[in-house]
Amino acid sequence: MSAARVVDALGTWCPVPIHLIDRAARGAAPGDVIELLADDPLIEVDLPAWCHSSGNELIELRRDGEGYLGRVEVTRPAAGRGGRGSPRDPSPGRSAGG
Amino acid sequence: MTEGAYLDHAAASPLDPRVREAMLAWLGESFGSPSSLHEWGRAPSEALERARDQVAALAGAEPEWVIFTSGATEARNLAVRGLLGANRALGRHVVATAVEHPATLAVCRSAEREGGGLDLVGVDEYGRVDPAALAAALLDDTALACVVHGQPDIGTLQDVPACVAALRAARPEVRVVVDAGETAGLAPVDAAAWDADAVVLGGGSIGGPRWTGALVVRPGARLHPLIAGGLEEGGKRAGAEDLPGIVALGVAADLARAGMPQRARRMRALARTLTEGLLAVPDVRLNGSAEERIPGHVQVSAGWVEGEALALHLAARGVAVSPGSACTVHGGKAAPALEAIGLEPPWTHSAVLFTLRATTSEAEVERAIAAFAESVAALRAMSPLTP
Percent of chain B with pLDDT over 90: 90
Residue A89, pLDDT > 50, answer no
- Which residues of chain B from 123 to 162 reach within 8 Å of chain A, CB to CB? none
* ipTM of the modeled complex: 0.85
Number of domains in chain A: 1
In-domain check, residue A11? yes
pLDDT band per the 50, 70, 90 thresholds, residue A96: very low
Q: Which residues pair with B147 in a beta bridge?
A: B178
In-domain check, residue A40? yes
In-domain check, residue A94? no
Structure confidence at residue B383 (pLDDT): 82
On whether the CB atoms of residues B242 and B71 are closer than 8 A, the answer is no
In-domain check, residue A67? yes
CB-CB: which of B42, B216, B219 is closest to A95? B219
Considering chain B, what is the average pLDDT of its residues? 95
For A93, residues 6+ apart whose C-beta sits below 8 A from its C-beta are: A23, A24, A25, A26, A27, A28, A82, A83, A84
Residue A17, pLDDT > 60, answer yes
Residue B252, pLDDT > 60, answer yes
- B327 in active site: yes
CB-CB: which of B65, B85, B89 is closest to A65? B89
Contact state of B221 with A98 under an 8 Å Cβ cutoff? yes
CA angle (B172, B176, B180) in 5-degree steps: 150
Q: How many CB pairs under 8 A join A and B?
A: 111
Structure confidence at residue A3 (pLDDT): 67
Contact state of B220 with A65 under an 8 Å Cβ cutoff? no
On whether the CB atoms of residues B145 and B94 are closer than 8 A, the answer is yes
Burial class (CB within 10 angstroms; exposed 0-12, middle 13-18, buried 19+) of B1: exposed
pLDDT band per the 50, 70, 90 thresholds, residue B330: low
On whether the CB atoms of residues B242 and B212 are closer than 8 A, the answer is yes
Structure confidence at residue A81 (pLDDT): 41
Distance between CA atoms of residues B253 and B337, nearest Å:
28
CA-wise closest residue to A87 among B189, B313, B37, B158? B37
Structure confidence at residue A93 (pLDDT): 34
Q: What is the CATH number of the domain that holds A58?
A: 3.30.110.40
pLDDT band per the 50, 70, 90 thresholds, residue A83: very low
What counts of helices (H) and strands (E) characterise chain B? 13, 13
A12–chain B nearest CA distance, Å: 7
Helix (H, G, I), strand (E, B), or coil: what is residue B49? helix
Contact state of A8 with B234 under an 8 Å Cβ cutoff? yes
Residue A28: domain span:
5-73
Q: Which of B197, B231, B232, B241 to mutate to test the interface with A (most CBs of A within 10 A)?
A: B231
A68–chain B nearest CA distance, Å: 12
pLDDT band per the 50, 70, 90 thresholds, residue B207: very high
Contact state of B234 with A11 under an 8 Å Cβ cutoff? no
pTM above threshold 0.90: yes
In-domain check, residue A89? no
In-domain check, residue A86? no
Domains of chain B: 5-13+260-382 (3.90.1150.10), 31-257 (3.40.640.10)
Report pLDDT digits (tens) over B4-46.
999 999 999 999 999 999 999 999 888 899 989 899 999 999 9
Structure confidence at residue B353 (pLDDT): 97
Structure confidence at residue B325 (pLDDT): 60
Structure confidence at residue A94 (pLDDT): 37
